[in-house]
Homo-oligomer: A and B are copies of this chain.
Amino acid sequence: MVETNMTTHDRETEIKALLTKQKATAFREAYLDLHVYEQAQIFVDLDKTQRARLYRYLTPEEVGDMFNAIEEEPQDVVGYFKEMPLKYAGEVIYEMYTDNAVDILAYADPQDLNEYLHHVPQEAANEIREMLHYEDKTAGAIMSTEYVAITANQTVRSALQVVKKEALDAETIYYIYVIEDENKLQGVLTLRDLLTNDDDVLISDLMNTPVMSVRVNEDQAEVAQTIRDYNFLALPVTDFDDTLIGIINVDDIIDVIDEESAEDYSGFAGVDVENTPANPFRAAWSRLPWSLGLLILGLATAVVIEHYQALIQDDSTLIIFIAMIMGAAGNAGTQSLAVAARRLTNKEDESESFGKLILAEVWAGLLVGLASGLVFALIAGWWQHNYLLGLVLGLALMLSIATANLLGCLVPWGLDRIGIDSSVVPGALIATVSDVSSVILYFGLVQVFLKWMV
């Protein structure tokens, strides 16, 4: 798509060759000419010898910038630090944005961590240690501590000087935060505000207040929603006494949105789609508990069918259409689940309107079931020359679909009520439970209508 991308592969080959031939200067020139994202893409493809040379040819600052852009899982990236001389690793860590460094260091051995941080300036090391304590997937865990802060009694002129001074280190200079004593967050303004006002205007006359902010323990999904709704480029993070302790940038939020959507998808699919182990033994092992659990749950269908075994023995046509009913109900139930789980995740609706959703889904189930049931009754009746069987089958299909739809709404709603994230309800669970309800409904109906059917 992009011109500069066309020769990605050639460039990678060329850069690897320069490392192999130990051409330090030519390597630096070619490599540093790339965007850090491209540098990172090449870096993760290098072998150990090539990486060792790269650490020799590049400064910790250059490697730190590039490490900010690595997209591998942090548990894999942490291994690279182990390959570097300790002092060099410490310097790379110091040069990285704190949030990125912390993500990775969360996976370091405690002993390694101490040794790296020994080579990081005291203040930054303390900051990293502090951030390592924030719970995963909270604002604290994804925030960055490199922001621009000024005070309300400054003028636009002096504020611009602060911005210029911080421009090289801060992750964003486009939002400027106004703080008072002890770092209390007081106001915010944008670089745009600074540029469009006279140099002598006081910040206190210009700043926006109150500031929209998030607490350090806020869930990252909520933070993402706020940034998305308000079209912010960054959002300040405060401690419990309103002290400004960091900011969350929109690029970190994009990763969060991706992560959360992959989680929803994985939850519904009943399998972690992002981190499927390449090794089939490990993949099988990770799916086995769930598969066995559902198999055991599915035993209930066997119990029900065995219970009605005598009926089937008398008339084996009864069994021909059972798979169709279960399949159709299972499909309908997973559709309902998808709609309900999404609605609950987005939390746009209050419980009142969720009640409406449940009602609507059951109605929709009855209607789809009615139409499908009619078609089914005609097919089955015509095929088996038994329109009463067709009627029973159609009725069973209709009730099975409506029940499945009800299950698809009620299960995630019930879990949500008791505080369990509704996005972890896999379609397979609803399909399996609806298999059970479908066989019960079908054979129950058969038994009721039996005296007229034979």
Contact = CB atoms under 8 A, between A and B. Distances in A.
Interface of A: 1-5, 35, 37, 69, 71, 160, 163-164, 167-168, 173-174, 191-192, 195-196, 210, 212-215, 218, 222, 226-231, 233, 250-251, 253-255, 257-258, 261-262, 264-266, 268-271, 273-274, 276, 278-281, 283-285, 287-288, 291-292, 294-295, 298-299, 301-302, 305-306, 309, 312-313, 316-317, 319-324, 326-328, 330-332, 334-335, 337-339, 342, 356, 359-361, 363-365, 367-368, 371-372, 375-376, 379-380, 401, 427-428, 431-432, 435, 439
A367 B192 contact: no
Given A291-B328, A339-B271, A312 B302 contact: no
Most B CB contacts (10 A, CB to CB) among A228, A250, A284, A327 go to: A327
A321 B302 contact: yes
A299 B173 CA distance: 63
The A interface, classified by DSSP as helix, strand, loop or mixed, is helix
A222 B1 CA distance: 9
Copies of this protein, total: 2
B1 A331 contact: no
A215 B2 CA distance: 8
A218 B250 CA distance: 23
Given A295-B376, A372-B292, A301 B316 contact: no
Contact of A298 (B327, B359, B360): B327
A294 to B, nearest CB: 6
Contacts of A2: 212-214, 226
Given A364-B280, A371-B284, A269 B334 contact: yes
Given A268-B268, A299-B379, 11 more contacts: A1-B222, A69-B231, A163-B195, A258-B261, A269-B339, A274-B342, A287-B368, A288-B371, A298-B323, A312-B316, A322-B322
